[in-house]
Amino acid sequence: MGGYYEGYYEARRDGEYKFNLSQPKHYLRMNLWADPLPYSGIYSQFSASTWEESARFKFDRGYAEKSFFEKTKLMLLYKEERHWISSPLLYLVDTGKMQRDSHGIRAEMWKLGGFAGQMIVSKDASAKDEEWYGNYFNTEGNAVLGRLDYSSRVLKIGSNFIKREKQYEKISSTGALLSQSEYSNLLNSADVTFYFNRFTLLAEAARSDSDWHDTSDKNKAWELELRDFNLGPFGLNLSYFDYGRNFHAQGSKKFSGYDGNSEFGRKGFNG
């Protein structure tokens, strides 16, 4: 168990009046850990806060995990950023984009004859918004991520399946449904890594199909990289990339189009 408390007061004086305390704020956070069974763990984070006359209690995040046979693990997640999977060059998954106050499940396996894998299934917390003239929006979403890879002494081969979905409802101030829409973004990718004595060679390619954008053509991205090539005191890393103009990944800052640094529609070298 652990946590902390934070308090805030503001003192003011006006003319001949004495100091008055105002704007009181209190914040308390508690973290709880437990290992109820062998190879298991539970974590939860709670917080309570007040601001003037208002008070709020929140279950901020938590997870429960259990390992089996030292080769598999199952996790139950609540607002936990555990949506990562390997994408060595294209970086198709950013946990902050995938995890939207969601709850779900994560399963892992490793050391099964050279194979390893992860699967994450989650559902976003419902979000509500409104317009000044009286229309309301309900937003829900879910994500499915899966990876399977095989490793040996000289190479590693992997494949990803990534799906992001969103559902939108527009409702009038009287409660009538005005419109309803659904969007999906599907990614399939493959990557390979070769380990040589003097350098490492990596390649990754992906294809996107999306309702958010036109992905009928130019919807592929790939990258090739030479890494850790050493010549005496000098080292060389060199890559070539080709990102299609219509390649979009809603779970990636790099290819989502909403973070100011989107890189689709580019090709060139990095060194």
Q: What's the token pair of residue 166? A: 């969103």
Q: Which residues contact 202 (CB under 8 A, 6 or more apart)?
A: 88, 89, 191, 192, 193, 194, 224, 225, 227
Output the pLDDT for position 153. 93
Cα 215 to Cα 230: distance, rounded to the nearest angstrom:
40
pTM above 0.95, yes or no: no
Output the pLDDT for position 47. 94
Query: What residues are paired with 143 via a beta bridge?
Result: 122, 164
Cα 263 to Cα 28: distance, rounded to the nearest angstrom:
41
- Asked if pLDDT for residue 214 goes beyond 90, the answer is no
- Asked if pLDDT for residue 218 goes beyond 70, the answer is yes
Q: Mean pLDDT throughout 181-189?
A: 94
Cα 96 to Cα 99: distance, rounded to the nearest angstrom:
5
Phi and psi dihedrals of 97, rounded to 5? -85, -30
Report pLDDT digits (tens) over 106-131: 999 998 999 999 999 999 988 888 87
- Asked if pLDDT for residue 151 goes beyond 70, the answer is yes
